[in-house]
Chain A
Amino acid sequence: MRSNSVGRNRFPRYQLAASAGFLVIALSLIGGQSSPLSAVPQGQTQSKAATAAPQAGQQSPNQPSSSQAAPPAQPAATPPKPLVMIDPAHGGTESGAVMNPTLLEKDVTLALARRLRIDLGTRGFVAELIRDSDVNLSTDDRAAMANAAHPALYVCLHATSEPDGIGIYTAMLAENGATNGPFIDWNTAQFSFLPQSRTAQQEIAAAMQKSGMPVRSLTAPLRPLSNVTSPAIAVELAPAKADVSQVSAGDFQQNVSTALANGIAQFLSNSGAMR
Chain B
Amino acid sequence: MIPRQFLITVTVLFALTIAMSVYVWQLRRREIRSPQVTEKNEHVAPPTLGPMEQVTVYVAYDSPGELRAQSISIPLAAGRQQRAEGLLRGLMTIYNAKDSTHPVAGGAEIREVFLLDPGLVVIDVNSAFVEGQVSGVLAEELTIASLVQTLAANMPELTRVKILVDGKEQETLAGHADLKGFYDVQQIAEVVKQLSTQ
Interface set of A (CB-CB < 8 Å, partner B): 90, 94, 96-98, 105, 158, 160-165, 167, 169, 172-175, 187, 216-223, 226, 234, 236
**Residues in chain A near residue B55, CB distance under 8 A:** none
Docked-complex contact B141 and A163, CB < 8 angstroms: no
Docked-complex contact A164 and B175, CB < 8 angstroms: no
From DSSP, what is the main secondary structure of chain B's interface residues? mixed
What's the Cα separation between A20 and B177 when bound, in Å? 65
Interface set of B (CB-CB < 8 Å, partner A): 62-65, 134-139, 141, 144, 172, 175-178, 180-181, 183-184, 186-187, 190-191, 194-195, 198
Docked-complex contact B175 and A220, CB < 8 angstroms: no
**Residues in chain B near residue A226, CB distance under 8 A:** 178
What's the Cα separation between A161 and B135 when bound, in Å? 9
**Residues in chain A near residue B180, CB distance under 8 A:** 223
What's the Cα separation between A97 and B181 when bound, in Å? 22
Docked-complex contact A164 and B135, CB < 8 angstroms: no
Task: Enumerate 7 A-B pairs (CB-CB under 8 Å) in ascending A order.
Answer: A97-B135, A160-B138, A161-B134, A218-B138, A221-B181, A223-B172, A223-B178
What's the Cα separation between A174 and B184 when bound, in Å? 7
Docked-complex contact B194 and A218, CB < 8 angstroms: yes
Docked-complex contact A90 and B175, CB < 8 angstroms: yes
What's the Cα separation between A54 and B19 when bound, in Å? 86
What's the Cα separation between A238 and B194 when bound, in Å? 18
In-complex Cβ contact of B141 among A105, A174, A187, A220 (8 A): A220
Docked-complex contact A162 and B139, CB < 8 angstroms: yes
**Closest chain B residue to A216, Cβ basis:** B198
In-complex Cβ contact of B65 among A164, A219, A220 (8 A): A164
Instruction: For the complex formed, measure the closest distance between the CB of B81 and the CB atoms of chain A, giving whole angstroms.
Output: 25
Instruction: For the complex formed, measure the closest distance between the CB of A219 and the CB atoms of chain B, giving whole angstroms.
Output: 6
Instruction: For the complex formed, measure the closest distance between the CB of B38 and the CB atoms of chain A, giving whole angstroms.
Output: 29
**Residues in chain B near residue A165, CB distance under 8 A:** 65
Contact status of A236 and B187, CB under 8 A, knowing A164-B64, A221-B181:
no
**Closest chain A residue to B180, Cβ basis:** A223
Instruction: For the complex formed, measure the closest distance between the CB of B197 and the CB atoms of chain A, giving whole angstroms.
Output: 11
**Residues in chain B near residue A167, CB distance under 8 A:** 137-138
What's the Cα separation between A234 and B140 when bound, in Å? 15
Instruction: For the complex formed, measure the closest distance between the CB of B191 and the CB atoms of chain A, giving whole angstroms.
Output: 6
